[in-house]
């Protein structure tokens, strides 16, 4: 999500524009919908510069390059550049970064991430007479750093004063005309690396930004600020204590650097899930801890009057909806149907003004889902889009939108968007529960706290996937794999099967475990691999025991049982050929964990078969035809 470049070169070597633009081009893979750069202009030896020049454009880098031809920038030693993936405010020229701070336009700032408390900070700045030119949370930070600079006349100190007041996840880079030859950057829970050159230094969201110039880099810890000049890179903590970054040598080539050194985008995106979930939870509560929705254009009265929810989506997004149905009905007591968007559109659904139609789409451009949303609106329903792509068609065609903040998903097989979609659906469910009152309204904040614990659990889980990878490599020649689950584990079984079909071209089927004896058990023969997603022992209605019985039934018929079970669940051990452990979590939150080994399994098996993991045959990332 967003690409960031910073550069300071030697005196009188005015190639900052070229270096920054090259870095932005190398970061294009991250996905973006606008781009811009800022250069210090009118530099003199040792003195202040005349100003900071900014050029920015919505759309692809080609638009920015055209602007640079039409309106050339000055030669400069110092620059920052940004590719933006819109979060707060649509992908427009005005919302593109950099943003000026202050009234004299002598400071420019770029930002990756989300400033969670920007509403209150902006309100306070507005009350003090500050005017804004964009809808972004970033511009708030730009004005705050500019004001701090006016007081302390030191860009590093100004940045330090401001970051301590910001909540959320962010990387910020700033330049000031009074300090030519300096770029200051700060990071909290958002990527930033320093490139160490000879007589020049770099900043980037990842090493791809500067790999054409240097392979020597510095890793920063969270809550650190780095100040680069042509000669040095100095690091301090947010408390001002001097510290040091961790030096490392980059031995990836440019293509590997784009993938963060991983073999595929899918692998990288699987590993990004802790961040995707955490970012999707960011900024969803107000100062009192109550849930709030983005860009809500539906009144609370209308939402209170909802008598039915229909979720429409396709593929992985559909399975995220199936997963969320269990929680939404449980928390809101509103009946919730989940339907494939292409089926919903072409039957005669019972929908009226008290029906809330929730569409889920990573791309926001899936034609089947778009048509379902349009149809729902024609029928008078209220429509909310859960979407990962700011400004896409589906959110624009909906009454309200709740964005997932998973960042761009490049691999065709969806992974981090899936867990982010479940997270967003849960936020919506809790919001509705809160609005409608009742017992779950009080529990909403407790569930939010439990959700906030999920990213670190996913992190732990991801760190222990070696055995899953071994199993996948061992199974590279397998021709058929079955997946069983129950309750929220059922859609996870379906999604696990879809992953394997999509990228490993293996016949894979997911079933509700309770359905086994109604047919699918006939497929079990000696050696048939079956993944079983086991609910935690605390799941109500004794479902855990029922699924353990299912494992016994298929094992007795020769199945090779690959059991995904909670830490500490010993009941499964006697009947499992392999036990894959996941951290304990409340039953409704388990899917955010149990899907992870299935994603890893599919990616590893596909790559063991020598297949293109990111671009499987016959599939497109965004299906824009019906």
Q: What residues are labeled active site?
A: 2, 621
Cα dihedral 253, 259, 265, 270 in deg (nearest 10): 140
How near is the Cβ of 27 to ligand AGP at its closest, in Å?
Answer: 22
- Minimal distance, residue 502 CB to ligand AGP, in Å: 6
Rounded-to-integer distance, Cα 102 and Cα 52, Å: 12
| Residue with Cβ nearer ligand AGP (280 or 369) | 369
In the bound complex, what is the minimum distance in angstroms from residue 322's beta carbon to ligand AGP?
Answer: 13
Count of alpha carbons within 13 angstroms of residue 370, beta-carbon side: 17
Q: Which residue is nearest to ligand AGP (CB)?
A: 315
Degrees to nearest 5, angle at CA 108 with 58 and 192:
80
* Residues 383, 406: Cα–Cα separation, whole Å: 22
Where would I find the H helices in 133-190?
Answer: 138-152, 155-163
Looking at the Cβ atoms of 201 and 599, the one nearer to ligand AGP is 599
454 closest CA partner among 414, 426, 489: 426
CB of 325 to ligand AGP, least distance (A): 17
Alpha-carbon distance 345 to 376, whole Å?
8
Q: What angle do CA 340, 393, 100 make, to 5 degrees?
A: 140
Strand 246-249 and strand 224-228: the pairing is: unpaired
Q: Are 429 and 324 in contact (CB under 8 A)?
A: yes
Which residue, 43 or 339, has its beta carbon nearer to ligand AGP? 339
Q: Where are the beta strands (DSSP E) in 328-449?
A: 336-340, 355-361, 382-387, 400-403
Cα–Cα distance for residue pair 144/121, rounded to 1 Å: 9
Closest CB 272 distance from ligand AGP, rounded Å: 15
Tell me how far, at minimum, the Cβ of 498 lies from ligand AGP, in Å.
6
Going by C-beta distance under 8 Å and a sequence separation of 6 or more, which residues neighbour residue 27?
3, 4, 5, 83, 204, 205, 206, 208, 209
Residue labelled with tokens 């935690």? 536
Contact yes or no for 158/131 (Cβ under 8 A): no
218 vs 500, beta carbon nearer ligand AGP = 500
Q: Which is nearer to ligand AGP, 454 or 603 (CB)?
A: 603
Distance between start and end Cα atoms, the chain? 29
What is the DSSP secondary-structure string of 72-113? PPPPBSEEEEEEE--SSS-S-TTTSSPEEESSS--EEEEEEE
Q: How far is the CB of 175 from ligand AGP (least distance, A)?
A: 37
For ligand AGP, give the closer residue by CB, 116 or 267.
267
**Residue 346 φ then ψ, to 5°:** -110, 20
- DSSP-derived letter for residue 179 is S
Closer Cβ to ligand AGP, 136 or 607, answer by number: 607
Min dist CB 355 to ligand AGP, Å, is: 21
Task: Give whichever of 64 and 427 is closer to ligand AGP, judged by the CB atom.
Answer: 427
**Whole-number Å distance between alpha carbons of 218 and 192:** 9
Q: Which residues form the interface with ligand AGP (CB under 6 A)?
A: 314-317, 361-363, 366, 369, 412-414, 502, 622-623
Residue with tokens 């659904």: 349
CB of 138 to ligand AGP, least distance (A): 26
CB of 265 to ligand AGP, least distance (A): 12
Closer by beta carbon to ligand AGP, 205 or else 363: 363
What strand order describes the sheet that includes 578-582?
507-512, 480-485, 529-533, 560-566, 578-582
């Amino acid at each position: 999500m967003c690409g960031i470049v910073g550069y300071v070169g030697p005196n009188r070597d005015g190639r900052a524009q070229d270096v920054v633009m090259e870095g932005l081009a190398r970061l294009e893979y991250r996905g973006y919908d606008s781009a811009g750069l800022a250069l210090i202009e009118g530099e003199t030896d040792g003195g202040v510069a005349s100003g900071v020049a900014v050029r920015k454009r919505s759309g692809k880098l080609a638009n920015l390059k055209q602007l640079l031809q039409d309106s050339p920038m000055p030669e400069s030693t110092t620059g920052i550049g940004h590719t933006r993936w819109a979060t707060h405010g649509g992908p427009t020229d005005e919302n593109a970064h950099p943003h000026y701070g202050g009234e004299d336009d002598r400071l420019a700032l770029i930002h990756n991430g989300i400033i969670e408390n920007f509403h209150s900070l902006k309100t306070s700045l507005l009350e003090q007479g500050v005017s804004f030119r964009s809808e972004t949370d970033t511009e708030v930070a730009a004005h705050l750093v500019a004001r701090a600079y006016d007081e302390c006349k030191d860009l590093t100190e100004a940045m330090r004063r401001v970051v301590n007041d910001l909540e959320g996840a962010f990387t910020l880079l700033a330049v000031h005309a009074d300090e030519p030859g300096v770029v200051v950057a700060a990071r909290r829970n958002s990527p930033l690396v320093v490139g160490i050159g000879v007589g020049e230094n770099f900043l980037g969201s990842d090493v791809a930004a500067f790999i054409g110039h240097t392979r020597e880099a510095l890793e920063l810890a969270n809550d650190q600020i780095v100040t680069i000049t042509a000669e040095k890179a100095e690091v301090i903590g947010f408390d001002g204590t001097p510290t040091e970054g961790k030096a490392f040598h980059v031995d990836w080539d440019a293509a590997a650097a784009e993938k963060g050194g991983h073999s595929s985008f899918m692998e990288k995106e699987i590993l990004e899930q802790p961040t995707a979930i955490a970012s999707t939870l960011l900024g969803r509560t107000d100062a009192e801890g109550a849930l709030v929705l983005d860009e809500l254009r539906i009144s609370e009265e209308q939402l209170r009057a909802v008598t039915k929810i229909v979720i429409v989506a396709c593929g992985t997004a559909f399975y995220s909806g199936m997963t969320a149905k269990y929680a939404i009905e449980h928390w809101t007591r509103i009946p919730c149907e989940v339907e494939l968007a292409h089926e919903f559109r072409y039957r005669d659904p019972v929908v009226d003004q008290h029906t809330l139609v929730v569409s889920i789409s990573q791309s926001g451009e899936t034609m089947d889902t778009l048509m379902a949303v349009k149809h729902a609106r024609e029928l008078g329903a209220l429509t909310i889009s859960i979407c990962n792509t700011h400004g896409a068609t589906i959110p624009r065609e909906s009454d309200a939108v709740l964005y997932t903040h998973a960042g761009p998903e490049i691999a065709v097989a969806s992974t981090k968007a899936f867990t982010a979609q479940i997270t967003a659906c849960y936020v919506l469910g809790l919001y509705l529960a809160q609005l409608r009152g009742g017992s779950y309204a009080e529990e909403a904040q407790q569930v939010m706290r439990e959700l906030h614990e999920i990213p670190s659990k996913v992190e732990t889980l991801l760190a222990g996937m070696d055995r899953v990878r071994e199993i996948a490599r061992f199974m590279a020649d397998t021709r058929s794999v079955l997946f069983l689950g129950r309750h929220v584990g059922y859609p996870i079984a379906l999604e696990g099967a879809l992953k394997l079909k999509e990228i490993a071209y293996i016949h894979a089927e997911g079933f509700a475990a309770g359905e086994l004896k109604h047919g699918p058990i006939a497929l079990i023969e000696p050696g048939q691999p079956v993944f079983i997603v086991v609910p935690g022992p605390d799941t109500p209605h004794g479902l855990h025991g029922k699924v353990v019985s299912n494992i016994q039934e298929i094992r007795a018929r020769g199945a090779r049982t690959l059991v995904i079970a909670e830490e500490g669940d010993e009941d499964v051990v006697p009947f499992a050929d392999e036990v894959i452990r996941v951290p304990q979590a409340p039953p409704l939150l388990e899917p955010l964990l149990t899907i992870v080994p299935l994603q890893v399994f599919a990616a590893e098996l596909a790559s063991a078969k020598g297949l293109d993991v990111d671009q499987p045959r016959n599939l497109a990332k965004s299906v824009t035809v019906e």
